[in-house]
Amino acid sequence: MFDKVKAIFEEQLGVSQDEMKLDTNFKDDLGVDSLDLYEIVMKLEDEFDVEIPAEELDDVATFEDVLNYLKSKGVEE
């Protein structure tokens, strides 16, 4: 699952997956802005067949947060 998430970020941001670790902060480390995040969320929803309400994004800042969130929605590794 982590590889799929990293691929989505790489496609959207043009950032190498080598720079993406579990504790990488999207805004601080990768420069993700709100538009990037919106587009990434749409791709995550499509890839993993989940709905991610905007208000739940406040607690999602790292790749580990994304993986934990997806697992909480029933997505399996």
In a domain, 39, yes or no: yes
In a domain, 58, yes or no: yes
pLDDT computed for residue 58 by the predictor: 80
- CATH number, residue 13: 1.10.1200.10
Determine how many CB atoms are found less than 10 A away from the CB of residue 20: 22
The count of structural domains within the chain is 1
pLDDT computed for residue 59 by the predictor: 84
Average pLDDT of span 10-30: 95
What is d(CA 23, CA 65) in angstroms, rounded to the nearest whole number?
A: 9
pLDDT band at 74; cut points 50, 70, 90: very high
The pTM (predicted TM-score) of the whole model is 0.90
pLDDT exceeds 90 at position 77: no
DSSP category for residue 23: T
What is d(CA 56, CA 69) in angstroms, rounded to the nearest whole number?
A: 9
Q: Which domain holds residue 36?
A: 2-72
Q: Which residues are catalytic?
A: 33
In a domain, 24, yes or no: yes
Per residue in 33-71, pLDDT (tens digit) is 989 999 999 999 999 999 999 888 888 999 999 999 999
User: 74 phi and psi, to 5 degrees?
Assistant: 95, 5
In a domain, 6, yes or no: yes
